[in-house]
Amino acid sequence: MMKTFLRIDKCLLIVALTISCHAIVGCEYFPESTFELASDSRLPKWFILPPGHTRADISITMSYYIRPSGRDVKFIVQDFQKRTPTKLYGKEKGTEPLHLKNPPPGFTPGYPAYEVITVNGITDIVEHRRMEPIFYLTDDPAVWKELMGVQPLPSS
């Protein structure tokens, strides 16, 4: 009987430690949300197109993570032959999506929403136009001016 209780206590301890560790460091396998880069959007400024590829050859998936240390983002870049994906990690600015003081007409309330993301020291602005699993990258000077205080740098 005592052995059974010890086994149960040991199992409960392992479960509690596992949950605690995931809560503290987060888990790469459970994103808060995941999006695909729109096919008509440019590539992120921090991504250099490999020789012999075109924009149409590349797909990018972006996942948001909320951790105790802040908001993180992971990008998975693949060509359409699904060869070895490239994973890139970045940080999001602030604690929640950003909105313009005077949003453009014709959008659902709360949209467009923006995320300022930095990967490898290069900052870009993600735009969510509506509630859908798609994201865009913006070069709109008004958006960059309001959110970053600067004009966007040209994309490569």
Q: What is the pLDDT of residues 25-64, one digit of tens each?
A: 555 557 889 999 999 999 999 998 878 888 888 899 999 9
The Cα 141–Cα 151 span in angstroms is 5
128: number of Cβ within 10 Å: 19
Mean pLDDT for the chain overall: 83
| Tokens, residue 108 | 């659902």
Confidence of residue 66 (pLDDT cuts 50, 70, 90): confident
What are the sequence ranges of the domains in the chain? Answer: 1-29, 31-148
Tell if the pTM clears 0.85, that is, is over it: no
Contacts with 140 (C-beta within 8 Å, 6 or more apart), sequence order: 152
